[in-house]
Amino acid sequence: MEKFTTLSGVAAPMPLVNIDTDMIIPKQFLKTIQRTGLGKNLFDEMRYGADGTEIPEFVLNQPAYRKAEILIAGDNFGCGSSREHAPWALLDFGIRCVISTSFADIFYNNCFKNGILPITLPREQIDILMEDARKGENARIEIDLESQTVTSADGQSFHFEIDPFRKHCLLNGLDDIALTLEKVSAIDAFESREAQSRPWV
């Protein structure tokens, strides 16, 4: 997993609430057996017409946002299915950070496994960043994970909260499985206890 330390990039505004994982990556693209290559189908049904041509009004089709690395999104971003294809598609497109007032639980988890930073901020701050994002390429937003800050184009800085363990893993690009396997003796011990107390499992 790629480390996440700092990011300075263009942010695309997506104020719609309840953007679900079917919108982020529709089911017909879940048939891949790989993690990569989904970027071109990110937001597919919002981004392309039925004939496959781009819908010019869609934010990521506008020249200013074609290389966006940050999304400023409406409430409850990522609700719906557990598909990790959603963060894979975001990442493949080049999005490394999503900022919203709230995220759906599984999507939020999945971001961290893929080096994407989901940031939760209060409504007033989201409103400011949303306005900022509307300015397109002229407004780069800065994110510093170490100090847990988001800085808008005109220099306003907002602090965000993040779980220390997740922060540590993102900053260092750590693989969860390797970390857990360091505790394999605890897992072994649990299993032998369970074999006694709940043998039917």
Partner 1 sequence: MTAPKTLYDKIWDAHLVHEADDGTCLLYIDRHLVHEVTSPQAFEGLRMAGRKVRAPDKTIAVPDHNVPTTPDRLQGIKNPESRIQVEALDRNAREFGVHYYPVDDVRQGIVHIVGPEQGWTLPGMTVVCGDSHTATHGAFGALAHGIGTSEVEHVLATQTLIQKKSKNMKVEITGSLPPGVTAKDITLSVIGRTGTAGGTGYVIEYCGQAIRELSMEGRMTVCNMAIEGGARAGLIAPDEKTFDYVKGRPHAPKAAQWEAALAWWKTLKSDDDAHWDKIITIAAEDIAPVVTWGTSPEDVLPISGAVPAPESFSGGKVEAVRRALDYMGLTPGQKLTEIEIDTVFIGSCTNGRIEDLRAAAAILKGHKIRDGLRAMVVPGSGLVRAQAEEEGLAQIFIDAGFEWRLAGCSMCLAMNPDQLSPGERCAATSNRNFEGRQGRGGRTHLMSPAMAAAAAITGRLTDVRELMREPA
Residue type, 60: L
Scanning residues 131 to 170, which ones bind partner 1 (CB under 8 A)?
A: 163-165
Minimum distance from residue 142 beta carbon to partner 1 (Å): 25
Pairing of strands 149-151, 140-144: antiparallel
Spatial separation of the C-alpha atoms in residues 13 and 129, rounded to whole Å: 9
What tokens were used for 143? 């994110």
- Rule CB under 8 A: say whether 30 interacts with partner 1: yes
- Alpha-helix runs per DSSP H in the chain: 21-24, 44-47, 85-93, 105-112, 123-134, 164-172, 176-181, 184-197
Q: How far is the CB of 31 from partner 1 (least distance, A)?
A: 4
Using rule CB under 8 A, residue 201 touches partner 1: yes
Size of the site for partner 1 (CB under 8 A): 55
What six digits make up the tokens of 96? 């490394």
Q: Token match 């409504």: residue?
A: 123
Can you tell me which of 47, 58, 61, 76 binds partner 1, judged by CB under 8 A?
A: 76
Q: Does 33 bind partner 1 (CB under 8 A)?
A: yes
CB of 6 to partner 1, least distance (A): 23
Closest approach, Cβ 186 to partner 1, in A, equals 5
| Residues paired with 144 in a beta bridge | 6, 149
Q: Report the distance separating Cα 171 and Cα 40, nearest Å.
A: 27
Interacting residue ranges for partner 1, rule: CB under 8 A: 15-18, 20, 22-23, 26-28, 30-35, 45, 50, 74-76, 79-84, 87, 102-106, 109-110, 113-114, 163-165, 176-177, 180-181, 183-184, 186-187, 190-191, 194, 198-201
